[in-house]
Structure 1
Amino acid sequence: MSFKKFWPGDVNFIHVTNVASVQNRPHDYLVGDSLDEYDVLLHNYCARLCFEGYVSEDYKRAVRAFQGIKILSVQDEYDRTNELKAAIKDLGFDIVLTCIPPDQIELVYPKSEFPNVTFVTVLTGYVPADTLRLDERLPLHNRPIMVGYRGRSIAMRYGKLGFEKFEIGRRMKKECTDRGIRADIEMEESHRIYGDKWTEFLRSCRVMLGSESGSNVFDFTGELDERFKGITCSDKNARKYLQELSEIESKFDIGQISPRVFECAMNYTPMVLFEGRYSGAIQPNRHYVPLKKDFSNIDEVISYLSDTEYLEKIATNAHKALIESGDYDYKNFVAKVLKQVEKIGTKCAAKPKVRIAAPSRPSSLNDRVTRQFPTDLPKHYTRALIEAELEVMVLTFIPELENAIARYEALLNDVVKATGFSKWQKIRQSSKRWVRLVGGIVWRTWLQALAVLSGGSGEFRKLKVITYWHWGLIKAAVGVSKHPLEDVAYLAMQRQNLERAHAKVAEYFAFLEGITELVKENEEELSKIRDIVASAQAEIQLVHQNRVQLASRMNIS
C-alpha cells in the first residue's frame, strides 16, 4: 500500500499466484494483456519465484512480453537461490530490490551473470507513515513486565541467525526465572501475539529482546532444505548442526534489522539485542542495550533493568533515529525505488507519468474488488476522500455481513442437530440467500460509485466484469424458499435476520448521505452520485418488497 500512497501515478495490485489463471477463474480479471497499459511492473516478494508452480504461468508470459521497466522485490534470498536467479534472467528484471548488503551482492549475484540488472539494497520492512499519531509515551517505570519476547524455533537449516532467535529467549527466560525477574518470554507458536494485542504487549514491557534477522546459509540448490527437513533450532543436537553449517555461513554476513526494532522504537520500548550489524541503522549503547551472544555480560544487562533513566534515553535515541528522522519510512523507500526507475527510465520516457502494477498476496474477494485500474483522469482531493470511504466500507461492512452469515449458519446447524427436522436444510439455504441478496445490492452500488469516481465506464471495462459478476449474486438470490414456516423458534430467528438486514440497508443509506456531503464542491460528480443513489433506492425498494412478501408468509406484522 505504500506505493499506492506515495507513487506519483496510478497503482494497480494484481493477483499472480498459481490460482490466478484466467482460464480457471474467468471473473477474476488479472493479467491477460493488461500489463501493456503500464510503464513499470513491481513484483512483490510475497509471490515467490523460487518455488516451482507458485506463480501463475499466465503472469510469467505477460512479464516476459512486458516492455516497461521490471522491478523485483525479494526477501529470503537464501531459499533455493539458483531458482530465484534463473527467474530473474528468464523474466528479464531490470531492478532487483535485495536485502543483501552492497559489499556482498557479488557473492550471490555476480556481475558476470547479471550485467544489465541493477541491485538495490533495501530493508525487510519500514516505518508506516502514521506512526507519529500513536498514543502518548508510556513511562517505563509504569510497565508491568520487565523483559518481554516472542520468538520461535525455526528450521535448523537457517543456521546461526535463526538459532539465535530461539536461543536469546531460552537463555534469558532461564536467567529471569533464576533471578526472580518478572518476564513474559515465549517461543511456542501457541503464544504468538498479533494485531493490537501485540502493540499492547510492546507497551507493557520495560525492555524487549531481539536479534538480527535473515540467514547466512544460502541454499542455492535446495539440498539443505531436504537435508535438515523437520529439524528445528530447539533440537537437542542444534549446536552440532551449527558446526556442520559453519563453513557455508562463514562466507556471508547479511544480518539485517528486523521490523520489530521499528515497532519497539515507535512505542518507546528499549531493546536488549544480541550484538550485530543491523543494517547499519542502529548502534550499541546508543540505540539499544547490547547483549553478548555468550551471555558473558548478562549481569551488566540485568542491572540496566532498574535504571529507567538510562533505558528512557536509549528509547528516545532509537525513536529519533528510526522514527522522527523519516529516514526509514515507506515514503523514503518509494522515493528510493522511483530514483532507480528514473535512472533507467528511457523505456517509458515518452509517457507523462509513471504507473505501476504490483503483484500482491493471494487475494480474497474483498482484495480483488478494491483494485483501481489506470486512468488518465487526475485524482483530486474530493475523490480521494470518497475512495477512502469506499475502502473503509469494503474492509469493515462486507466482512461484518459475511460474519453475520457465518454466525447465523452456525445457529441453524445447531437447531438441525437438536431437532433432526429435514426441513431445516431448506430453511438454512433460504436464509443464507436472503442475506446475500442484501449484500449483493450493496456490492453493486458502491462498485458503480467507484467506477464513476475513477473515470467513467469507458475507462473501466475491466471493473464492470467484476460488477456484473456480483450482480449475478442478486439474480441467484431472488428465489426465496416457499417451504411452510410453522416453527415459532424459526420465526423468531428469521425476524432477527430480517431486522439485521434492514439495519444494514439503513447503514448504507447513511453512508451514501455521507458521500453526498463530501461532493458538494463538485456539481458534476454530485449529479453522477445522485443517479447512483436513485438506482440504489430503486433496488433496495425491491428488497423491501421481497421482505414484505417473506414477512407475510411468516405472519409477521
Structure 2
Amino acid sequence: MGKRPTALVLYNWRGQWPMRRWEHQRIFAWKACFPGPVTVLNIGFPFNPAWITGLDPDLVVVDATALAARYTAVGLEGLRRAMDAVPARARRVAAPLDEFLGLQALRDVLAETRVDLLLTALEPALWDSVYPIGHRPYAMRRFLTAYVDDLLMRRASGDLAGRPIAVSYRAWETPAWLGEMGRLKREVGLRAEAWALARGHRADVAVDGQRRLAGEAWIRLLGASRAVVGVEGGSSLIDPAGELLARDIDPAGPEGWTPPASAVVLAPEAEIRAMSPRHLEAVATRTFQVLVEGDYSGVLEAGVHYQPVRRDLSDIDAALDRSLDPRHAQAMADRAYGEIVASGRYSWRAVVRDIADQVLA
C-alpha cells in the first residue's frame, strides 16, 4: 500500500467566536474527510514558516479567510510568508469567496503563490471575465460556498406544521456597495416580517446585523421555523482595485452615494451570485424556502426545491401563503432534503475526496 497523502489547510481567523457554523465546517471538513493526515494552521497569529517547510505536505489548501488577508498589508505579508515556505512539490488549491472585492489583488496573489487549482463559487459563464484566461495558469472548478457535513445530515427536524415560528430570516448590515443585491437582502426580510404580522403569525427576522446567530444557533432557529426567506449571495458591483474596502461607507446606503470610478456596476443578468450556506442548511433542516428566483449554483430548482418569488417581490405574500399549506410545504421540503442532502451529492466527504483525487492524481 502506498503512502497516504498529507495536507495543510491555511486559514486566517481573528474574528468572532464561535465561528459561523459553515465557516468552521469549510475549514475543518478537510481534516475530517481528506484521505490522509491533515494539519490546520491559523496564519492570523505568529508562526514559524520553517515549520511549514518541514511538514512537507502533498497538498496545501488556502481557505477563503487566508485569501482575505489581501485586504491588509499585514495580512498579505503573513499569507506570503506561509506560501513561500510551502515546498515546491506540493499541489496548491485556493478557495476564495467575495471575489468581487479587491479582485486585482486576488488575481495577483493566485499567480504569486502558484496555485494549481482555483475553487470558485462563480458560475462558469463569468470565469473568463473575472479571471482572464490569458492570465490564469491554474485550472478552475466550481465550488459551493458550503457543503453538507455528517452532523448536518442528521439535523432534519420534524413536521413543519408543529413548528412555532412562521418565518425566519437574518441579514447583516447590507452595504451600499452590494448594489441591487444588497437592497434585496434587506427588503426580502422586511416583507416577510410584514406578511407574518398582517396574518397574526410569529416571525423571527432581523436585517440590521443585530441578533446575530453563530454556531448551532442558526440551525436551531431553522428547525423551529416553518419557512425561511432569502436571496442568492453576491454583489451587483465588482471592485478590481479594492477602493470599496478603503472607503468609510455607511452600510445603510446613503442617498446620493456613488461607487468609485474603478468599480464595475453589473446588470442583473451579469451579477455575481451563488447559493449561500444558509440555503443548504435550510434544506438539511427540511425548512420550506421562499426565495427570490435565481440559479442557486445549479443546486436548487425553482418550484421543485423552493417556492420562487419575482425579483420585485410583488408575489412574496402569495409565495409565503404556500407555507401555510402543510401538504405542499412538507412535500417540497422533503423533496429538497432527499435530492440534495440524503443523496450525498453535496456532502463535504464527497467533494473533498474528489478534489484530492483531481489534484493528486
User: What interval of TM-score do these two structures reach, taking the shorter chain for normalisation?
Assistant: 0.7 to 0.9
Residue aligning to 2:11 = none
- Maintained 8 Å contact 2:161/2:326: yes
What is the distance in 1 between the residues matched to 2:338 and 2:223? Answer: 18
Provide TM-score, normalisation by structure 2. 0.83
Residue 16 (structure 1) aligned to one of 4, 25, 43: 43
Residue 212 (structure 2) aligned to one of 166, 176, 192: 192
Displacement after TM superposition at 1:31 (Å): 3.3
Quick check: 1:43 aligned with 2:71?
no
- SS in structure 1 of the partner of residue 74 of structure 2: coil
What is the distance in 1 between the residues matched to 2:296 and 2:234? Answer: 10
Quick check: 1:257 aligned with 2:275?
yes
- Maintained 8 Å contact 1:69/1:341: yes
Residue aligning to 1:61 = 84
- SS in structure 1 of the partner of residue 205 of structure 2: strand
Residue 120 (structure 1) aligned to one of 132, 141, 146: 141
Deviations 1:368-395 (Å, cap 9, x if unpaired)?
xxxxxxxxxxxxxxxxxxxxxxxxxxxx
Residue 286 (structure 1) aligned to one of 288, 304, 321: 304
Residue aligning to 1:108 = 130
Q: 1:21 to 1:2 in 2, by over 3 A?
A: closer
Residue aligning to 1:466 = none
Q: What is the 5 A alignment of 1:483-494?
A: none
Displacement after TM superposition at 1:201 (Å): 1.4
Residue aligning to 2:4 = none
Quick check: 1:341 aligned with 2:348?
no
- Write the letter of the residue equivalent to 2:112: D
Residue aligning to 2:97 = 75
Q: What is the 5 A alignment of 1:145-156?
A: 145-156=165-176
Residue aligning to 2:250 = 231
Q: CA RMSD in A?
A: 2.5
Deviations 1:273-294 (Å, cap 9, x if unpaired)?
1111100101111111111222
- Maintained 8 Å contact 1:126/1:262: yes
- Maintained 8 Å contact 1:49/1:83: no
- SS in structure 2 of the partner of residue 214 of structure 1: strand
Q: 1:88 to 1:298 in 2, by over 3 A?
A: closer
- SS in structure 2 of the partner of residue 178 of structure 1: helix
Displacement after TM superposition at 1:245 (Å): 11
- SS in structure 2 of the partner of residue 294 of structure 1: coil
Residue aligning to 2:339 = 321
Q: Which has the higher strand share?
A: 2
Displacement after TM superposition at 1:235 (Å): 3.6
Unaligned runs of 5+ in 2: 1-27
Displacement after TM superposition at 1:236 (Å): 5.7
Q: What is the 5 A alignment of 1:43-442?
A: 43-47=62-66, 48-51=68-71, 52-55=73-76, 56=78, 57-63=80-86, 66-114=88-136, 116-134=137-155, 137-226=157-246, 229-232=248-251, 234-235=252-253, 237=255, 248-250=265-267, 252-342=270-360, 345=361
Q: 1:265 to 1:74 in 2, by over 3 A?
A: same
Deviations 1:313-347 (Å, cap 9, x if unpaired)?
110111012101111110121123123214xx4xx
Q: 1:180 to 1:246 in 2, by over 3 A?
A: farther
Residue aligning to 1:441 = none
Q: How many pairs align? A: 328
- SS in structure 1 of the partner of residue 329 of structure 2: helix
Deviations 1:500-543 (Å, cap 9, x if unpaired)?
xxxxxxxxxxxxxxxxxxxxxxxxxxxxxxxxxxxxxxxxxxxx
- Write the letter of the residue equivalent to 2:290: V
Displacement after TM superposition at 1:224 (Å): 3.2
Q: 1:58 to 1:50 in 2, by over 3 A?
A: closer
- SS in structure 1 of the partner of residue 238 of structure 2: coil
- Write the letter of the residue equivalent to 2:274: Q
- Maintained 8 Å contact 1:157/1:225: no
Displacement after TM superposition at 1:302 (Å): 3.6
What is the distance in 2 between the residues matched to 1:132 and 1:223? Answer: 41
What is the distance in 2 between the residues matched to 1:149 and 1:3? Answer: 29
- Maintained 8 Å contact 1:213/1:257: yes
Q: 1:167 to 1:245 in 2, by over 3 A?
A: farther
Q: What's the % identity of the aligned pairs? A: 26
What is the distance in 2 between the residues matched to 1:254 and 1:86? Answer: 20
What is the distance in 2 between the residues matched to 1:7 and 1:81? Answer: 30
- Write the letter of the residue equivalent to 2:130: V
What is the distance in 2 between the residues matched to 1:99 and 1:335? Answer: 18
Residue 4 (structure 1) aligned to one of 31, 46, 53: 31
- Write the letter of the residue equivalent to 2:29: S
- Maintained 8 Å contact 1:73/1:98: yes
What is the distance in 2 between the residues matched to 1:181 and 1:252? Answer: 37
- Maintained 8 Å contact 2:176/2:254: no
What is the distance in 1 between the residues matched to 2:303 and 2:47? Answer: 52
What is the distance in 2 between the residues matched to 1:231 and 1:50? Answer: 22
Unaligned runs of 5+ in 1: 23-28, 346-557
What is the distance in 2 between the residues matched to 1:120 and 1:306? Answer: 39
What is the distance in 1 between the residues matched to 2:273 and 2:92? Answer: 27
What is the distance in 2 between the residues matched to 1:198 and 1:223? Answer: 33
- Write the letter of the residue equivalent to 1:170: L
- Maintained 8 Å contact 2:237/2:271: no
Q: 1:235 to 1:223 in 2, by over 3 A?
A: closer
